[in-house]
Amino acid sequence: MDLHKSLLAAALLLSPALAFAHPGHDHSGLLSGFAHPLFGLDHLLAMLAVGLWAAQQQGEARWVLPLTFVITMLFGGLFGFTGIDLPLMETSIAGSVLALGLLVALAVRPALPVAMGLTALFALSHGVAHGLELPELTSPWSYAAGFVATTAALHGTGYAVARNLPRAAAPLVRLAGLASALSGAWLLAA
């Protein structure tokens, strides 16, 4: 991958103009689940950042962090399906975008239990939000399958982009983290 392609990939990751709020969900369950993480800037940036952050880690943290996010998010989704809400949920989601962005921008490599704890904390609020937004007349299981698949794909995309950048373009990962952090700060202020 040359520098031109790397810059294009970074621009695509940093410019989800249509991905603000959660519009356009249909009532098919699976498709609604697929769409939810993609069409919310907060969810999209956080999930890409998890993949970017995982790529900056060493050893088993590279796969444990995305897996921790997906599993915890699924449990949060189940809570949301039952109507359990978290206090300051939207604030914590925006805060997760800020925090994950900073973790990527600074290339933080904490001990695995600390990294897993942070990842789980961030994932819980995203999962509850997904669960609470279950469309009417939709199977919660197909909806959950959709948001889990999209989340895993976004983690994989962030990971693959970060791991396949040429050495000269590696700072783009940190810039993407900074852009995510700034977006998180903007979301918190909005």
Q: What is the pLDDT of residue 3?
A: 52
Cα–Cα separations (whole angstroms), residue 105 to 17, 94, 145, 172, 179: 22, 16, 31, 9, 9
Cα 118 to the chain's mean position, in Å? 13
Q: What is the pLDDT of residue 29?
A: 84
φ, ψ at 62 (rounded to 5°): -60, -35
pLDDT of 30-39, one tens digit each? 899 999 899 9
Residue whose C-alpha is closest to residue 47's, from 81, 8, 83, 19: 19
Distance CA 5, CA 153 (A): 20
Q: What is the pLDDT of residue 172?
A: 96
Distance CA 16, CA 107 (A): 23
Domain coordinates of the chain in residue numbers?
41-189
Specify whether the CB–CB gap between 118 and 66 falls below 8 A: no
Q: What is the pLDDT of residue 17?
A: 37
Distance CA 112, CA 103 (A): 14
Distance CA 27, CA 135 (A): 6
Q: What is the pLDDT of residue 27?
A: 55
pLDDT of 63-104, one tens digit each? 999 999 999 999 999 999 999 999 999 999 999 999 999 999
Per the document, the length of the chain is 190
- Residue 22: HSE in the Cβ half-sphere, 13 Å Cα cutoff: 18
Q: What is the pLDDT of residue 181?
A: 98
- Provide block-wise average pLDDT over 10 residues at a time, the chain (190 residues): 50 42 55 90 96 97 98 97 94 97 97 98 96 88 95 97 92 97 96
